[in-house]
Structure 1
Amino acid sequence: MGTALVGLTRYGGNYTDYQSTKRAERERWQRRFTEEQEELAKLRRSVEVTAHEVAPGRAAATTTKRWATDTPTVGYRPNLTAGAQRRPPPQRAGT
């Protein structure tokens, strides 16, 4: 196995050793990836089954989902006059 140095990996031995090390790294990566995909598939099936068991035959409450990025946060000032007018301030008795 190589030794990691600030973004670089140093491999000992000759080119054949390098190739066998890279092959082993790739096989480990492939095995982890396959296991993660299998777990993800199981979780997705579980969510589908659970959703149907919790509310069988019930339609979703909403058809769209709102994400945190849908609402502006920095410099957001709602237009208070759009759609509804503001009432004027009350008149003072002396004016």
Structure 2
Amino acid sequence: MTVTADALTGAGWYKSSYSDGHGGNCVESARVNADWFKSSYSNDTPGGDCVEGARLADGAMALRDSKDPHSPAFVFGGGAWAAFVDALNGGQL
């Protein structure tokens, strides 16, 4: 999956703690400033808060665990997200 640079506009990039100064700079992560919303399937019962989403540029979607909002998020490109939603709405999943 590829996410265009526009979908990550305003992201704060940082190196992984596993990268080093000897050619081991292999992974960077982005902190995305986004308006997160709780999934309509989450509820206020214990353990019910499970998923938050954020709409990004180009139709991309970020998802994270609402119980740990500082944890990493999964980012899906616009085409992949649209195909997933279409499959759900079509009863294919």
Return the TM-score normalized by structure 2: 0.20
* Structure that is richer in helix per residue: 1
Higher relative contact order, structure no. (Cα contacts within 8 Å, ≥ 6 residues apart)? 2
* Structure that is richer in strand per residue: 2
Which of 1 and 2 has greater Rg?
1
Return the TM-score normalized by structure 1: 0.20
